[in-house]
Amino acid sequence: MRRSDKALRSNRASTQGMNQRTDSMDDRFDRRELLLHLGDVLEALSCLTKMGESSAPVTQVVQENGALQTLEFLRALAAEKTAAEFGARVASAFSQWPRELLETELDRDALASAVQHNLFDGNPAGWNAYVAHIQKKVRWFGIGLPGAKGSVSTEPADGIADKTALDEPKDPVASPAEGGIRNEKRGWPWPEPRSTS
pLDDT at residue 143, as a whole number = 92
Closest CA to 89 of 62, 132, 123: 123
Q: 3-state DSSP helix/strand/coil percent for the chain, to nearest 5?
A: 60, 0, 40
**Does pLDDT of 191 surpass 90?**
no
Confidence of residue 113 (pLDDT cuts 50, 70, 90): very high
The Cα–Cα gap between 196 and 186 comes to 17
57 close to 44: Cβ distance less than 8 angstroms: no
* Contacts of residue 136, Cβ cutoff 8 Å, sequence gap at least 6: 156, 157, 158, 162
In one-letter notation, the amino acid at residue 86 is F
Q: Across the chain, what does the average pLDDT equal?
A: 74
Number of neighbouring beta carbons within 10 Å of residue 48 = 24
Q: Which residues of 166-181 are buried (b: 16+ CB within 10 A; e: fewer)?
A: eeeeeeeeeeeeeeee
pLDDT at residue 195, as a whole number = 53
**Does pLDDT of 18 surpass 80?**
no
Which is higher by pLDDT, 156 or 139?
139
The Cα–Cα gap between 37 and 121 comes to 20
If you average pLDDT over residues 20-40, what whole number do you get? 79
Tell whether the torsion through CA atoms of 163, 165, 168 and 173 is positive or negative.
Answer: negative
pLDDT at residue 9, as a whole number = 58
Confidence of residue 99 (pLDDT cuts 50, 70, 90): very high
25 close to 187: Cβ distance less than 8 angstroms: yes
